[in-house]
């Protein structure tokens, strides 16, 4: 797991005000954070060097998302 995924997972923990209590992992928040991160990458995909129409643009965004999270195709 790369550092960005670890960062998102940490952000998905919800902590109470009770001293020394463990946080509760919120799966829905974790999923939302991942989706938001992917949307940002897709939005920011540099399309100037992409030739080949819509399918090439989508593939470029997909590859950038995979690379961002350290996932092999």
Predicted local distance difference test score (pLDDT) of residue 13: 92
What secondary structure does DSSP assign to the chain, as a single string? --HHHHHHHHHTEE--SSTTPPPEE-HHHHHHHHHHHHHHHHHH---TT--SSHHHHHHHHHHHHHHHHT---
Mean pLDDT, rounded, for 17-45: 86
Under the banding of pLDDT at 50, 70 and 90, the label for residue 12 is very high
Kindly report the pTM of this predicted structure.
Answer: 0.70
Predicted local distance difference test score (pLDDT) of residue 67: 87
The percentage of the chain sitting over the pLDDT mark of 90, rounded to a whole number, equals 29
Predicted local distance difference test score (pLDDT) of residue 49: 64
């Amino acid at each position: 797991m790369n550092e960005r995924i670890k960062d998102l997972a940490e952000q998905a923990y919800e902590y109470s005000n009770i001293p020394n209590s463990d946080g509760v992992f919120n799966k829905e928040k974790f999923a939302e954070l991942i989706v938001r991160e992917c949307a940002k990458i897709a939005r920011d995909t540099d399309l100037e060097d992409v030739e080949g129409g819509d399918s090439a643009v989508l593939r470029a965004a997909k590859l950038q998302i995979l690379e961002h999270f350290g996932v092999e195709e």
